[in-house]
Structure 1
Amino acid sequence: MTSLKKITPKLIWDNVRSGDWITAERVHIAAIMAVIAYLGLLIFAVFFPSPFKTPNGEYLVLDFNSFWTAAKLALSGDTLTQYSTQEFLDLQVEWTEYSETTFAFFYPPTWLLYILPFGLMPQPISYFVFNLVGIAIVTLFGRAVFKSWLHSLMLCALPAAMNCLLHGQNGLLSAALLGGAMFALQHRKFVLAGIFIGLLSYKPQMGLIIPLALIFARHWQTFISASVTTLAVAAISLLAFGIDTWIGFFEQLPIASYVLRNDIVDWEKMTSIYAALRVYGLSDTIAWAIQSIAAFLIVVLLFFIWQPLPATNQDKPMSDNQMAVRATTLIAGGLLFTPFALAYDFAILMVPLAFLIKAGQKNGFLPYEKTILALIVIFSSVVARWAVSTGMPIAPLFPLALLWLAYRRHKLEQVNNTETAVA
């Protein structure tokens, strides 16, 4: 008869260090249960009376209402009200007969182009289909990385993914495009990588440092492809909606800045360094100064990590370890670089998580790596609620932890390269 090990502090610490408590069987069971629960929650929210609906039961009071209202307006020929903030908010109240919660539309007209089809459906059905599309494209990204549908299911099971789905936000699309770009870069599909990056231009604050990374790595084909794609999508939206729509978007930008600076979207619900410092009571000037210093340090880190590969390796795909380091530095660093990111944007952390897990599966996990990854997975979806409940925002710690893991893998890669050169 097998005897159970006596639980001791040393045994607990050894498991924390090795991550042996995180087994494939446990992860698979948890992922399947989570996805079933998520789909059940979405079905409940859409097809049954729920706390997410307006009193008349016809509309969902979620972020997605901004997308649906904007698309509905555009299909009727109105592409200006979206960028007249107060008119847009008033219209939501008129349509939903609910005035307690409304949502602004701070996206460029390129995003308006993407969401047009969703204005053709009733709002709850549109929300459901929008989320199914997000799940589908993330599953395709996971399948490409892991070569396994079960492993790709794990990405959809991340609590941060559910947080994004519940809001009806576009984090899953952003994650799939970022992940697709990184996977394409790893396999030297430079033009395809640029197309994915260009398609992400609807969320410019999430991609501010991507051009710098491409320049540092001298990925000129990708840089040109991304630029052409960005301009092409913008041109299509210009032809579809007219120049006045773009003018309205740019004229609205100061309002977005005002919203950030004045806690109109609660700072506790944001994930940036700036927002965290404001919650802790620092002034706007000091918080901006520290945010700017952090952004500069991220660029410096990016410069050292995204250097061109040695000439001997430039004709081969990047190793899983190299891509894990680069993807993590870019995406986790990007979340720290921007002052305007919200809790549902943490869905894009599934990309560095996927590449770090793939590198760990192939090359072995470093001490504490599996445990840290597990903690990020479990707690990254509750950062907003934690900050609201305690007044102590911790969101920036999650991308910082990922950067630390990337740095450790980068140092290991350097040691291995040195040993190979000596041998």
Structure 2
Amino acid sequence: MFRDMSWLSGRRAGLYGSGIAIALVVIFARHILIYYRGGGYDEGGNLFGADFTTFWAASLQILSGHTAEVYVPELHQAIEQQYLRNGYEAFFYPPTMLILCIPLAIVPYFASYLAFLGATSALFVASIWRILRSPWTLIAILAYPPVYFNIVAGQNAFLTTAILGCGLGLMNRRPGLAGAVLGLMVIKPHLALAVPIALIATARWRTLAWGGISSVLLVVLSYLLFGLDTWLNFLDVSRSARQTLENGDVGFWRLQSIFATMRLLGADVSTAFLTHGLASLGVIGALVWRLRQKTSAAAERSIIALACLLITPFSLFYDMLIMALPLAWMLREWQKTGFPAWSKAVISLTFLAPMVFYLPVIYGFSIGTSLPYGAPIAALFGWFLVRETIMAPDHASAPPSCIKAQL
């Protein structure tokens, strides 16, 4: 039943996806209505898109000439409290992220949030549309729960997913431009740790060089705009970021890494880091070994994206939006070449996991917490792709021209 899932035709998948999309939109609309009636707050005083306050507050500090104070928690929190009633949204991003934040506080919080959301979501939709090129693209996006996680959180996963999708997608055709785009991940570098490893493993020196140039230019620009004190304060506050990770101050159930899974299961910090480190070494080994073999472009990109999610110890529930990229790449490839055994089951599980394990917690339908689903699902998907490229040598050994023709 699940090995081939021949009953799950494209038409049925579209109908099921439409049903899921309608249900999620209705649930989200109900959620929005609660916040709307509360003037942007729910019954507990929680601000809609609360994470965005850290970007908006940073912008206000930049525009007022106090950029270095972004990394002084007491001063940054004081700005956030113009809108934030509960808690504190720390700014642990490097100063390169501040370049993006500059214009955000030109307008009030809610208008800025909607503009930011509109611009970044457009980039995300364009990146997925460019992969799938199907009239069902919008339905698939609306049926994918991490889309709503990112909106509710007020985060930047639309942007990071679009950067990775565009950069990885351009590697074969426009290697220099691909590197320049991938270098933009210096705004959130912990989510792209597998990228330089993959570029070295595949001898994509031009892409690697342009990625380095792009990253360095952004670092230099941030130094020229914000000064040395801002960078020094960032390095100082980074110690607090590590403590936040180790202590689970954001909630281990919100984190999706192997480290967080171990901590949630009761492991101490050392054991969790050791487990995560060993697993990451295994992921890097599998990544390098697989990429040095001939494989399809879609599988190659997908394995890199999944490795990015597995290597970092600090990935949150909204960052799982990146999983949409391997889903889209492999779905399009398998639609053309045929679905291997178990592939539909793996895609379905990857697509539905956030809805089953996390959606009830986000929307308050569950009284408990959820185990992180990100690392296990990414590991399963990655293992399947590595296994499949080994099991299908004829397809994997297709010359590059054939691969490009398929994509």
Instruction: Bin the TM-score by the shorter chain.
Output: 0.7 to 0.9
**1:96 equivalent in alignment to 2:96:** no
Listed as ranges, the gaps of 5+ residues in structure 2 are 400-407
**1:146 equivalent in alignment to 2:120:** no
Q: Deviations over 1:372-419 (max 9, x none)?
A: 212221222564539982564443211012112212331244244579
2:372 & 2:131 partners in 1: Cα distance? 32
Residue 41 of structure 2: aligned partner: 53
Please show how residues 304-315 of structure 1 align to structure 2 within 5 Å. Answer: 304-307=289-292
Residue 326 of structure 1: aligned partner: 300
One-letter code aligned to 1:29 = S
Residue 399 of structure 1: aligned partner: 378
Please show how residues 260-409 of structure 1 align to structure 2 within 5 Å. Answer: 260-307=245-292, 322-381=296-355, 383-384=357-358, 385=361, 389=368, 392-409=371-388
**Equivalent position to 1:191, from 167, 173, 176:** 176
Aligned positions, number: 393
**Equivalent position to 1:250, from 235, 253, 258:** 235
One-letter code aligned to 2:297 = M
Residue 403 of structure 2: aligned partner: none
Determine if contact 1:346/1:381 at 8 Å carries over to the other structure: no
Give the direction of change, closer, same or farther, for the CA distance of 1:205–1:97 in structure 2 (3 Å limit).
closer
* Greater Cα shift, 13-22 or 155-164: 13-22
**Equivalent position to 2:217, from 232, 243, 249:** 232
Residue 402 of structure 2: aligned partner: none
Q: CA deviation at 1:162?
A: 1.2
2:76 & 2:83 partners in 1: Cα distance? 12
Q: Whose radius of gyration is greater, 1 or 2? A: 1
1:35 & 1:118 partners in 2: Cα distance? 29
Percent sequence identity over aligned pairs: 25
Determine if contact 2:296/2:395 at 8 Å carries over to the other structure: no
Give the direction of change, closer, same or farther, for the CA distance of 1:42–1:189 in structure 2 (3 Å limit).
farther
1:59 & 1:290 partners in 2: Cα distance? 36
Determine if contact 1:141/1:176 at 8 Å carries over to the other structure: yes
1:65 & 1:131 partners in 2: Cα distance? 13
Q: CA deviation at 1:92?
A: 2.1
Listed as ranges, the gaps of 5+ residues in structure 1 are 1-12, 310-320
Residue 57 of structure 2: aligned partner: 69
Give the direction of change, closer, same or farther, for the CA distance of 1:381–1:123 in structure 2 (3 Å limit).
farther
Residue 161 of structure 2: aligned partner: 175
Q: CA deviation at 1:146?
A: 2.1
Q: CA deviation at 1:54?
A: 7.1
Q: TM-score, normalised by structure 2?
A: 0.87
2:210 & 2:367 partners in 1: Cα distance? 42
Q: CA deviation at 1:327?
A: 1.9
- Cα-Cα RMSD: 2.9
Give the direction of change, closer, same or farther, for the CA distance of 1:298–1:57 in structure 2 (3 Å limit).
closer
One-letter code aligned to 2:379 = L
Q: TM-score, normalised by structure 1?
A: 0.84
